[in-house]
Structure 1
Amino acid sequence: MKKMSSQYLYTFLLVTIILLWSYGWVLTKIGLSYMGPFTFAALRFLLASFAMILVLFFLKPTRPKGTEWIILFIVGLLQTTAMFLLINYGMMFVNVSKSSILIYSMPIWSGILGYIFLHESLNYYKVISLVLGISGLVSIIWFELFTIQNKSVIFGECLLLLAAISWAGANVIVKKYFSNHNKMIVSTWQMIFGTIGVVVAAILMEWGQPIQFTPISIFILIYTGVIASSFCFTCWYVVLTKLDTTVASISLLFVPLVAIFLDWLLLGEKMTINIAIGALLVTIGVYLATVVKPKERRKIERFSTNIKS
């Protein structure tokens, strides 16, 4: 009974994380109207890093050693500096729905980079997921590319795709060098190093530009920094240790879907047919790339081998 109660608690926590992350996408879009994209990212992650440092202070985990610091610095540049600068700048031109779908195509790119750099097998599931995922991305982008030809939107979408690839690159590095490490430590230190890069970019690119500090903008910064970044990532790592990995992977699929709904509900964005098709294809592609159980994959591979022989 106690174990079942704990499972309900962690499942509730997982649902909470999904909702908080999804709402964070909407608030980010609103927050960009109060300040420059790099400044927004800098203030957000200064708050997030401070909160994560407080968490580490109370947990008192072991520190990284030797060359691990250099690798964490590189991860920080990819996962925090590059990723969120690209996201924030891209979202200046792209709505929440498209942005969230493009970013959460990350597992598809992780599969490609894992195949190239980690020599992971590229089985039929991954190939199918890649085809579906890219088809979904094309479905999202083609409308501007071939119909409206809105160059600023296309530019923003390309930035968001680069952000997803940067996130995937960071994940591949973490998998190679930190698979057996405390992920809370990895997340905190990469965030700190990445924040330094974001702050430098904000100073170089947006120094002197106006910042509107209002109750709304301050709330958005606190929400995206402390709640959506620090709190949610801390809870995420707790959930990963307590729930089945499959359940955790599925949860990633719901963030862009809920974000699309909130984008329609709160910002009045219309759901076009190309976005709906793209969201469906990317979701199925990510599902095949990350969620299908290894046992089921082995069955498919054995079946395919038997056909060949």
Structure 2
Amino acid sequence: MTTPRAALLFAVVVVLWGINWPIMKVALEMVSPLTFVSLRLLSGLLSVMVIAYLLGDLRLPHRRDWPMVIVVGVLQMAGYLALVSMALQTVPAGRSAILGYTMSVWVAPMSVLILGETLGYLRALGVAAGLLGVLVMLSPWGFDWSTPGMVAGHLMLLLGALGWALAIVMVRARGQKGSPLALAPWQFLAGLICIVPLTLWFEGWQPVPWQHAGFIAILIYNGPITAGFGFWAMLTVTRYLPAVTTSVGALGVPAVGLVAASLSLGETITLNSLAGLGLIVLGVYLVATAGLREHRRRFSSPSD
């Protein structure tokens, strides 16, 4: 695949994932959050399993990979999606997209604490910019603290992002023998096994609007399209585009989500949202650039 085609594929995935934020909010008007997450994970599991099978990459994980399969399944799949879905009930979709995609900001300080990595001035600036962006997004000085569920919703989004970041750092620390595509179905399965009992405990057997064509379309969008195709596409893109491009470019997802929520749901794009998004993008860019420079220094041979 050529670089321009990889860039086009990347842009398609960013748009697909971005517009899913208002789509998820619409879905949560039809079904309870944990039930929706269970159905999403089941649909995603089947979709990714089919793709892995067609590409000859469907196999049991190596014994060494099982702990990280469970970590990713619980933190990134079940935990993140559950917290985001519950938060979307009270927090606007555009705002949720931005705060839910701050995991790249948290990875750097977690890597220092857990992996003993050096922060460095560029990473430190990036983390500071990202945290300032989160603060601007939350805007506690003008926040309506009396709105029911609003504070809890914002905390859920940040906690979900922290969980995703922790999963990234733990995988980086331990490494993986299997390919991301080969491990993906089992990660979805681990998430599903985790979330189904919680769904039954907290929500019971909630009615699912199977007769509603719009809800079926949403499930298809969240399964074969955003989970199946999206996962395969991102794996493909990372082979052809620089890490800085994919790290910063992924923040196009909340940007698209912000615009899509405004156009489809009538949500107001505030100055705080734009400023916060800009600072978070800057922070991720600085952190990714620092990582790229270290990678180049590590693998470049000294000149004689």
The answer for the alignment partner of 2:144 in structure 1 is 148
Mapped contact 2:244–2:292 kept (Cα < 8 A): no
Q: Distance in 1 between matches of 2:249 and 2:183?
A: 21
TM-score under structure 1 length normalisation: 0.89
Match of 2:217 among 216, 219, 237: 219
Deviation at 1:138, TM superposition (A): 1.3
Match of 1:19 among 15, 31, 41: 15
Q: Specify every segment of 5 or more residues in structure 2 that has no aligned partner in the other structure, as ranges.
A: 298-304
Structure 1 range deviating more: 172-181 or 91-100:
172-181
Match of 1:209 among 206, 210, 220: 206
Letter in 2 for 1:110: V
Q: CA RMSD in A?
A: 2.0
Q: Specify every segment of 5 or more residues in structure 1 that has no aligned partner in the other structure, as ranges.
A: 300-309
Match of 1:294 among 275, 292, 299: 292
The answer for the alignment partner of 2:301 in structure 1 is none
Q: Distance in 1 between matches of 2:90 and 2:237?
A: 34
3-state DSSP of counterpart to 2:118: coil
Match of 1:258 among 256, 281, 286: 256
What are the equivalent positions in structure 2 for 1:1-309 lying under 5 Å apart? 6-61=2-57, 63-143=60-140, 146-149=142-145, 150-178=147-175, 181-213=178-210, 214-292=212-290, 294-295=292-293
Deviation at 1:40, TM superposition (A): 0.5
Q: Distance in 2 between matches of 1:183 and 1:168?
A: 17
Q: Distance in 1 between matches of 2:142 and 2:246?
A: 37
Q: Distance in 2 between matches of 1:92 and 1:207?
A: 18
Structure 1 range deviating more: 56-65 or 13-22:
56-65
Identity in percent = 28
CA deviations on 1:129-159 (whole Å, 9 max, x unpaired) are 221111111112125x654213511110000
Mapped contact 1:76–1:194 kept (Cα < 8 A): yes
Mapped contact 1:79–1:167 kept (Cα < 8 A): yes
Deviation at 1:209, TM superposition (A): 2.7
Number of residues paired by the alignment? 294
Deviation at 1:262, TM superposition (A): 0.8
Deviation at 1:52, TM superposition (A): 1.2
Q: Distance in 2 between matches of 1:191 and 1:73?
A: 9
Structure 1 range deviating more: 177-186 or 117-126:
177-186
Q: Relative to 1, partners in 2 of residues 1:163 and 1:293: Cα closer, same or farther, differing over 3 Å?
A: closer
3-state DSSP of counterpart to 2:207: coil
